[in-house]
Amino acid sequence: MKNLGQMMKQAQQMQAKMQEMQAALGDIEVSGQSGAGMVTVTLNGKGDLKKVKLDKSIVDPNDTEMLEDLLVAAFNDAKQKVEQQVQAETQKLMGGLSLPPGFKLPF
């Protein structure tokens, strides 16, 4: 039973670290780009959109569809980068603990 107690203690420590990491995700900022850098969006580590930057040359009132597509592409680029960073931070936190396939953290 001593091992069970030790495992429970480790689980509680990991849970506390995970909560700290989730709180810190709001401070992380990641940018994604499209249109060769003409559109840049910035997300925090929780995936919330924080900033949009547009090159003036891309703003054409007669072609809003292209701008819309570039915004989506830049957002998806940033979102992918956020997910990669969160996964890397989670792996650091988890150490050598292996998880079953398809099991992702944070929940």
Query: CB-based burial of residue 78 (10 Å sphere; 0-12 exposed, 13-18 middle, 19+ buried)?
Result: buried
| pLDDT of the residue at 96 | 56
| pLDDT of the residue at 19 | 83
Q: What is the spatial distance between Cα 102 and Cα 107, in angstroms, rounded to a whole number? A: 12
| pLDDT of the residue at 16 | 82
Tokens coding 13: 């420590």
State which fold the 28-66 domain adopts. Ybab; Chain: A; (3.30.1310)
| pLDDT of the residue at 107 | 47
| pLDDT of the residue at 49 | 94
| pLDDT of the residue at 67 | 94
Q: What is the spatial distance between Cα 41 and Cα 102, in angstroms, rounded to a whole number? A: 29
Query: Low-confidence residues of the chain, pLDDT below 70?
Result: 1-2, 96-107
36: left (phi over 0), alpha (psi -120 to 50) or beta: left
Residue pair 49/43 in contact (Cβ under 8 Å)? The answer is yes
| pLDDT of the residue at 62 | 94
| pLDDT of the residue at 101 | 62
Rg of the chain over Cα atoms, rounded to whole angstroms, equals 19
